[in-house]
Amino acid sequence: GDSVTQMEGPVTLSEEAFLTINCTYTATGYPSLFWYVQYPGEGLQLLLKATKADDKGSNKGFEATYRKETTSFHLEKGSVQVSDSAVYFCALSVDTGGFKTIFGAGTRLFVKA
Amino acid sequence: NAGVTQTPKFRVLKTGQSMTLLCAQDMNHEYMYWYRQDPGMGLRLIHYSVGEGTTAKGEVPDGYNVSRLKKQNFLLGLESAAPSQTSVYFCASRNGEEGQPQHFGDGTRLSIL
């Protein structure tokens, strides 16, 4: 079945460091890929998305490229801030009649000042 | 915009008690979902609905029931609460266009003693 695997956390970085969170997926068909972010006490919110191969999603300095050949959608940011501390979820969605979304386990990021 | 609203935000129950969690969305979305979030396990789909009057089982439906009598509301019921149902419950909705994200509420934190 469809699945998403993302790197385990927590990831601890100093402010202004480079961030990479790896995400790979398994899916039949042509999924849309998403990164969601969850701040403490809140629900998930969309960070960025890509809907077809080689698309690059970007938002708030974060980027991820849909790589069909490696079935990956790694999240990157060139210079993290303390305010980026949160849990990040990689996810895929396919139209199986219910537009169900498969989520990775989440990666917690701590950014130190 | 209210988006997706979940009530209550917190609840403590005793084993065997029943309760209903309410989810309301004001975006005219066709699809609605209930998830539970447990440490280290990401989000697991409990039930979902593809439209008013329809419901379907997700990954972990046992012990839960749902109803979608109105398009904007999706109710999750626990008939006889068990300690294993202690979790954070999230509701989400989306429209029927491909590549669109889910929109989440802020969650209900439920403890079963």
What are A39-48's pLDDT values in tens digits?
988 999 999 9
Our CA-based measurement puts residue B107 at a distance from the nearest CA of chain A, in whole angstroms, of 6
Q: Which residues of A touch B33 (CB under 8 A)?
A: 100-101
pLDDT at A112 over 90: yes
Using a CB–CB cut-off of 8 Å, the residues of B that contact A are: 4, 31, 33, 40-43, 45, 48, 50, 56, 58, 90, 92, 94, 96, 98-107
Q: What residue ranges in chain A does DSSP mark as E strands? A: 3-6, 11-14, 19-21, 23-26, 32-38, 44-50, 56-59, 62-65, 75-77, 86-93, 101-103, 107-112
Instruction: For an interface test with B, give the residue of A44, A90, A103 to mutate (most B CBs within 10 A).
Output: A44
Question: How many CB pairs below 8 Å do chains A and B form together?
Answer: 55
Rounded CA Rg of chain A: 14
What tens-digit pLDDT sequence spans chain B (113 residues)?
A: 679 999 999 999 999 999 999 999 999 999 999 999 998 778 999 999 999 999 999 999 999 999 999 999 999 999 999 999 999 999 999 998 888 999 999 999 999 99
pLDDT at A30 over 90: no
Considering only alpha carbons, which residue of chain A is nearest residue B30? A98
Contact A103 B50 (CB under 8 A): no
pLDDT at A95 over 80: no
Nearest to A75 by CA among A94, A87, A88: A88
Distance CA A55, CA A35 (A): 14
Contact B99 A32 (CB under 8 A): yes
Contact A103 B106 (CB under 8 A): no
pLDDT of residue B112: 97
Q: Name the least confident of A28-37, A57-66, A69-78, A95-104.
A: A95-104
Distance CA B37, CA A105 (A): 10
